[in-house]
Structure 1
């Protein structure tokens, strides 16, 4: 009987210990993989930060060239303008590549967080197994003590020591599992930050670099959304179609820098009199569209007049033509824009 008890104890302990050792090795391998992924992500983060800086430097160089070229006209002004445009294009390409890599890093961090959670669960299972082994050793120690009586002290103590060691190992494994969960949470936070930054970059990718207005593709989507929302809420919506008169002559006589400054000032003036969520879209080279929801045709026209007064402070000679159209039943974006364009032509004829 005593031999059976000792053999059972040893078999149980060795089985649990071997299972725990295998799990420990699996977890250690996962730790090494996680560490490698962390280092790789960190290195790539640094690379993307350097790429961001290069793109920013190119934008600054382009801006400097535009400032330098502002008083220039003719061939020299055109040459400097083309140089600045090329630098902006290179910066845009680099930022596009950076966004793609950041998206990949965010996905990898999410995946790494999932792996760490799995490792933590594996460590919990190992700890549970070691706790069970410790409990079995406790019971067997008591059995040994009952069978051997006064001679059982040393053997019972040895069994209890095995149980204590198992519990200590289980506690250490649980502590490591808690660390894994903390790392997993940090991975998810880092992935969330990456995605937030990526979302901001994607939004900026849909903005016109010169003026900050929406580019036409995204702008059409945003205005269609505003049209549908106005219909759903049975509210008003007014669309304005604007054209910067004589922009080509300004570029030819004063340089492209002067023309660019006018376009930037126009959008800033509009934004100063519109709500933050009212979309402003660069429709073409010198054409802009904006939509104002919950506002009548008259009020929308008043806001445009106020924006022109703001624009006149920095651009006193600027001439802007505008046409307004209110949303009607059955309107599409195309029919609404067409009516606003026709209103613009009538406005221009009356001047």
Structure 2
């Protein structure tokens, strides 16, 4: 039984350790999940900036296209004006075959202005082409920004999915940790029952010798700490061997059971009983002296005498001394019992 309880305690400790390890693992997973969420948020912020940059580039491209359209329109107007000036100069020349220097100058001036208009129109169209080239460059840059943004979104989504998986795994780890702790608690409870069973006499239901001496040591320490008296009673069941030999061991067992039951009924809740040997019991009376113990044992013998199978006990008492160990105290009570038997 002792080995079983120790094995259960070891198993409980292992389960408790496993529970702690699972909690640590779940905490690590939560931290990783937080980091991934932060990374996802950073990626989202970055792609929002990329989107804004793309929109700005698209806007700039639209403005450049509009400027190019305006320049093309102005160039068209200049070409039209130049053609009109050429026509005017040709008509003027055809109407005035014999031209004066003044008229020649006016015709040349019209053609010069037409050439200037065409040059300006050419420059406008060149500037328009440049605007459209810049607009195309802006749109390509905007498209690249959007590609980067889309990739960042995919990575952010992957970060969030991984964070969600980490949190789910952390939750599972915590559930397993709780299961480990529950199992450890059950193991300890079963171990405590095993220990209790190992410390109880299966026949009489009182403490066995080893557990009884442990309890006596605690009571002695308490008595010394609180400066109260304590007395030990060593009990021997009278004529048990005769009953065993004459009526059988079942009758002897019943006698022992009757003695233990009577002791429990007549002693206080604070008093302890343990079985020392085959027909021997030890009683511990805290905050009491020998006269109190003798009174209680007298009541026990009176009740045993009224049983269907009458019995009796003989007892020796020893009061706690400053130098006593638990073994010394029981030995002195046993010696007192032996002295009483010799006097009979």
RMSD between aligned residues? 2.6
Match of 2:20 among 110, 114, 128: 114
Match of 1:281 among 274, 277, 287: 274
Change (3 A) 1:135 1:213: same
Number of residue-to-residue matches in the alignment: 257
Match of 1:131 among 28, 37, 44: 37
Q: Does residue 302 of structure 1 match 2:295?
A: yes
Give me the whole-angstrom Cα distance separating, in 2, the residues matched to 1:200 and 1:313.
35
Give me the whole-angstrom Cα distance separating, in 1, the residues matched to 2:45 and 2:312.
95
- CA deviation after TM superposition for structure 1 residue 182, in Å: 2.8
Give me the whole-angstrom Cα distance separating, in 2, the residues matched to 1:310 and 1:182.
58
CA displacement 1:51-87 (0-9 Å, x = unmatched): xxxxxxxxxxxxxxxxxxxxxxxxxxxxxxxxxxxxx
Q: Does residue 320 of structure 1 match 2:226?
A: no
What is the correspondence of 1:43-62 to structure 2 with a 5 Å cutoff?
none
| SS of residue paired to 1:281 | strand
Higher deviation after alignment, 286-295 or 135-144: 135-144
CA displacement 1:200-227 (0-9 Å, x = unmatched): 2123212222222222233223212212
Higher deviation after alignment, 297-306 or 229-238: 297-306
Give me the whole-angstrom Cα distance separating, in 1, the residues matched to 2:303 and 2:318.
23
Preserved contact between residue 262 and residue 315 of structure 1 (Cα < 8 Å)? no
Match of 1:217 among 207, 210, 216: 210
Give me the whole-angstrom Cα distance separating, in 2, the residues matched to 1:334 and 1:140.
81
| SS of residue paired to 1:291 | strand
What is the correspondence of 1:229-268 to structure 2 with a 5 Å cutoff?
229-268=222-261
**Hey, what does 1:163 align to over in structure 2?**
156
TM-score (norm 1): 0.65
Change (3 A) 1:314 1:182: farther
Match of 2:8 among 74, 99, 102: 102
* Larger of the two Rg values belongs to structure: 2
| SS of residue paired to 2:232 | strand
Preserved contact between residue 325 and residue 336 of structure 1 (Cα < 8 Å)? yes
Q: Does residue 196 of structure 1 match 2:102?
A: no
Q: Which has the higher contact order (CA 8 A, sep 6+)?
A: 2
Change (3 A) 1:322 1:183: same
What is the correspondence of 1:16-27 to structure 2 with a 5 Å cutoff?
none
**Hey, what does 1:144 align to over in structure 2?**
50
- Structure 1, unmatched stretches of 5+, are 1-94
Give me the whole-angstrom Cα distance separating, in 1, the residues matched to 2:258 and 2:233.
17
- CA deviation after TM superposition for structure 1 residue 327, in Å: 1.9
| SS of residue paired to 1:235 | coil
- CA deviation after TM superposition for structure 1 residue 248, in Å: 0.9
- CA deviation after TM superposition for structure 1 residue 310, in Å: 3.8
Give me the whole-angstrom Cα distance separating, in 1, the residues matched to 2:331 and 2:11.
44
| SS of residue paired to 1:330 | coil
- Structure 2, unmatched stretches of 5+, are 59-141
**Hey, what does 2:101 align to over in structure 1?**
none
| SS of residue paired to 2:236 | strand
Give me the whole-angstrom Cα distance separating, in 2, the residues matched to 1:331 and 1:96.
29
